Amino acid sequence: MRYDYLIVGQGLAGSLLSYYLIKRNHKVLVLDDPLQQQASAAAAGIFNPFTGRKLVKTWLADTLFPFLLNFYQELQDDLQIELIHRIPMYRPFTSIEEQNDWAVKLFDDRYNPYIESIVDQGSALSQVVNPLGGIMLKKCGYVDITSLIQGVKKFLNQNQALKTDHFNRAELQFDNNGVCYQGDKAQRIVFCDGPWMRENGLFDWLPLRPVKGELLEIETEKPLDLIINRGVFILPIKRKLCRVGATFDNRDMQWHTTESARNKLQQGVEKLLRMKFIITKQLAGIRPASLDRRPLIGIHPEYEPLAVFNGLGTKGVSLAPYLIESFYEFLEQGKPMIPDVAISRYFSLYYNKI
């Protein structure tokens, strides 16, 4: 069979990219190993315009956020499943200085579009440990990644565009017209295989730096209606069910959960909530991050039919929609990739290897 694109992996990146290409009338085949673990299975899917302990604006936030909300809304309508959940995020203050800093940012055009309100001491939330009040942020929420991947899988099957099998590098061949894999031919193959990229032998020279993250699911005494974020995040996903995360570990690359992560997350919840809770589940995943915390996107320096869309890290839900469109314009229209994510920044690593 002849295709425009073969895509390896149906995690978040592979799901969204394959959907985008098919909706633009490209013939696509996704190769996905059902036995291979995915970071997406243990991802909270949170999007919010700020990041880090000091809560600075996320890279490209002003561009990403209008784009991602429209993208996921369109995907949700098309797949006819509930994907996008818009929920305010609350961050308790830990000092008067922090409270004053945000009072200034409230009138700063760079921050104001994302600030719902400042909660003072007199209005502090009863369910949260926040004696100094906090900042309420808008344009936040989460994408149900499990439903997204399952919804796209159904979409791919309806379009005869999914093959569930382990990708075998030895069976990939190149010719003048592109690639051939197990009798299927395509103009290009794109690797969206997350942390497994280090094992495919084609893009292993890229500085992928996977990070293990663990989450808890907890049942709270009373329901929450906003995301709490301070030290850990507490994300309400059902009436009294929340997800708590996340840990960051760049040494332990095993997919199993750990008691140390469980204790750390549990203690984080205890510092934030004024209510009882019980732990119902623990999850672990390996995120495909990169050395400089920017995605790895582009075409192989030597083999034109080989491409990669990987390294989205912890901000994959926010980054993927915009970067997929940029990648598509790069592949199909010859527009330059965003320099910060283009793998050309690491071509020297490939040439030094050979």
Question: Is the domain of 15 the same as that of 132?
Answer: no
Whether 117 is in a domain gets the answer yes
Handedness of CA 65, 70, 323, 231 (dihedral sign): positive
Please say whether the beta carbons of 329 and 335 come within 8 A. Answer: yes
pLDDT at residue 326, as a whole number: 97
Whether this prediction's pTM lies above 0.85 is answered by: yes
pLDDT, one tens digit per residue, over 197-206 is 988 889 999 9
The yes-or-no verdict on residue 53 having pLDDT over 80 is no
The yes-or-no verdict on residue 118 having pLDDT over 80 is yes
pLDDT classification of 40: cutoffs 50, 70, 90:
confident
In three-state secondary structure terms, 222 is coil
The yes-or-no verdict on residue 250 having pLDDT over 80 is yes
pLDDT at residue 76, as a whole number: 97
The yes-or-no verdict on residue 270 having pLDDT over 90 is yes
pLDDT, one tens digit per residue, over 165-200 is 999 999 999 887 899 999 999 999 999 999 989 888
pLDDT at residue 352, as a whole number: 86
Whether 58 is in a domain gets the answer no
Angle at 13 between CA 246 and CA 216, to 5 degrees: 20
pLDDT at residue 224, as a whole number: 94
Token code pair at residue 327:
């990648």
3-state class percentages of the chain: helix first, strand second, coil last, to nearest 5: 35, 30, 35
pLDDT at residue 123, as a whole number: 82
Question: Is the domain of 175 the same as that of 131?
Answer: no
Task: Look up residue 98 and give its amino acid.
Answer: E
Question: Is the domain of 105 the same as that of 252?
Answer: no
Token code pair at residue 33:
């190993």
Whether 267 is in a domain gets the answer yes
Question: Is the domain of 113 the same as that of 240?
Answer: no
Count of domains for the chain: 3
pLDDT classification of 159: cutoffs 50, 70, 90:
very high
State the virtual CA torsion across 289, 292, 298, 300 in degrees, nearest 10. -90
The yes-or-no verdict on residue 271 having pLDDT over 80 is yes
pLDDT classification of 9: cutoffs 50, 70, 90:
very high
**What's the rounded mean pLDDT across residues 246-257?**
90
Whether 82 is in a domain gets the answer no
Q: Answer with the one of 287, 303, 336 that is the final residue of a domain.
A: 287
Question: Is the domain of 100 the same as that of 234?
Answer: no
pLDDT at residue 253, as a whole number: 86
Task: Look up residue 157 and give its amino acid.
Answer: N
Question: Is the domain of 282 the same as that of 218?
Answer: yes
Average pLDDT, the chain: 93
Rounded to whole angstroms, how far apart are CA atoms 327 and 320? 10
**What's the rounded mean pLDDT across residues 219-231?**
95
Phi/psi for 15 (5° steps) reads -65, -50
pLDDT classification of 121: cutoffs 50, 70, 90:
confident
Whether 62 is in a domain gets the answer no
Whether 322 is in a domain gets the answer yes
Q: Where in the sequence is the domain holding 39, given as residue range(s)?
A: 2-43+146-207+292-353
pLDDT at residue 93, as a whole number: 95
pLDDT classification of 299: cutoffs 50, 70, 90:
very high
The yes-or-no verdict on residue 163 having pLDDT over 90 is yes
DSSP string, 284-317: EEEE--BTTSS-EEEE-SS-TTEEEEE--GGGHH
Question: Is the domain of 112 the same as that of 229?
Answer: no
pLDDT, one tens digit per residue, over 131-157 is 999 999 999 999 999 999 999 999 999
**What's the rounded mean pLDDT across residues 327-353?**
95
Whether 71 is in a domain gets the answer no
Q: Ramachandran region of residue 188, left (φ > 0), alpha (ψ -120 to 50) or beta?
A: beta
pLDDT at residue 27, as a whole number: 98
- CATH code of 185's domain: 3.50.50.60
The yes-or-no verdict on residue 289 having pLDDT over 80 is yes
Whether 105 is in a domain gets the answer yes
* Residue of 65 and 27 predicted with greater confidence: 27
pLDDT at residue 177, as a whole number: 85
Question: Is the domain of 269 the same as that of 238?
Answer: yes
pLDDT at residue 331, as a whole number: 97
Rounded to whole angstroms, how far apart are CA atoms 331 and 293? 23
pLDDT at residue 314, as a whole number: 86
Please say whether the beta carbons of 227 and 234 come within 8 A. Answer: yes
pLDDT, one tens digit per residue, over 58-93 is 899 999 998 999 999 999 999 999 999 999 999 999
